[in-house]
Amino acid sequence: MKRLQVLMSVESTAPVEKEEQLGKKIVLSKPKSQRQKTLVQKILVNGFLALICIIWTLPTLGVLVTSFRDRDEVVTSGWWTSFSDPGAFTLRNYEQVLAGQDYSYTRADGTVVSSRGDNMLNSFLNSITVTVPAVIIPILIAAFAAYGFAWLDFPGRKILFATIVGLLVVPLQIALIPILRDYMAIGLNGSYLGIWLAHTGFGLALATYLLFNYISTIPRSIMESAFLDGASHFTTFTRLILPLSVPALASFAIFQFIWVWNDLLVALVFLSGAGEQVEVITQRLLNIVGTRGQDWHLLTAGAFVSMALPLVVFFALQRFFVRGLMAGSVKG
């Protein structure tokens, strides 16, 4: 009621069009000058936002378009000129970058140079080998721990959890040298297990914290019935709590997937020296950047090969990813 009175008293220029019943929405028509102003505002807002979207998308679009262009054209003309001749687009760059096919081109002085492409397929598979367990293992360990902290009573429970909270933002740089020394001592360097464990160690604090926040809110009554049936904690956890926590698990899984797939530092430290055999895709791409920085046709195709999977995952599961990001805003 109060608001209605306020509305009536303030907007003297605005005639009340309709007032059917009290409590229903009141429609006010605005005077002409204001209407124009809002139209201008609308155009400004939408126009400016569209401009930002274009600026944000152009860089990626340029790389995408270039990856389908012929090598000779890439180095002699800007990608924005290629739309005049859509027939010239080719998949050759991808063949070269994935399967290491040879390619040849003519230099300015007329000599024909032949050069090898790159074998990214191997590193793509390596990235999958590194990423899948590096996502699942920390989630498994963190879910167990979250259940333990939420529903079991043991000495040191609070101080241990406080430790996890403290470790949330500890930068992983602090661990690189000591862990590298350990790995060299026990032969884990350059092995899949080594890098899985490293990613587990660096992602575990956040995973445990997030999953604890979720699992501790599951009503106790749900579990009581399981205990009455004589189920152990292990059974209750695996049969009841894990399925119930799927949304939280998925959120963190996507977050961790993109994190691990895109990681370069951990891979460089713990997989270097083991040769091309265990190189992940970010390392491979970095090598192409380093050794053939001017081969734009390969670089752009390579960049897209490395981005394809996270982008697909991202667009397919954006909702979960956003939830994971929001919940775990502060990652160390």
- What is the footprint of other proteins within residues 140-169 (CB under 8 A)? 140-142, 144-145, 147-149, 152-154, 157-158, 160-169
Contact set for other proteins, span 27-86 (CB under 8 A): 41-42, 45-46, 48-50, 52-53, 56-60, 62-63, 66, 74-80
Q: How far is the CB of 21 from other proteins (least distance, A)?
A: 20
Determine which residue in the list 210, 223, 249, 269 makes contact with other proteins, applying CB under 8 A.
Answer: 269
Contact set for other proteins, span 9-28 (CB under 8 A): 10-11
Determine which residue in the list 14, 242, 268, 292 makes contact with other proteins, applying CB under 8 A.
Answer: 268
DSSP-assigned letters across all residues of 12-77: TTS-EEE--STTS--EEPPPHHHHHHHHHHHHHHHHHHHHHHHHHHHHHHHHHHHHTS-HHHHHHS
CA dist 273 and 265 (Å) reads: 14
Q: Say whether residue 266 binds other proteins (CB under 8 A).
A: no
CA dist 300 and 294 (Å) reads: 11
DSSP 78: -
CA dist 297 and 69 (Å) reads: 7
Tokens 């569209």, located at residue: 50
Q: Say whether residue 242 binds other proteins (CB under 8 A).
A: no
Q: How far is the CB of 68 from other proteins (least distance, A)?
A: 14
Determine which residue in the list 89, 100, 286, 292 makes contact with other proteins, applying CB under 8 A.
Answer: 286
Query: Which is nearer to other proteins, 74 or 103 (by Cβ)?
Result: 74
Contact set for other proteins, span 193-222 (CB under 8 A): 193, 196-198, 200-202, 204-205, 208, 216
Please name the residue ranges forming H helices in the chain.
2-10, 32-67, 71-76, 92-99, 120-151, 157-167, 173-186, 192-215, 220-228, 233-236, 242-244, 246-262, 265-271, 281-291, 296-316, 318-327
Binding region for other proteins (CB under 8 A) out of 14-22, 108-116, 243-251, 294-302: 294-302
Q: Say whether residue 258 binds other proteins (CB under 8 A).
A: yes
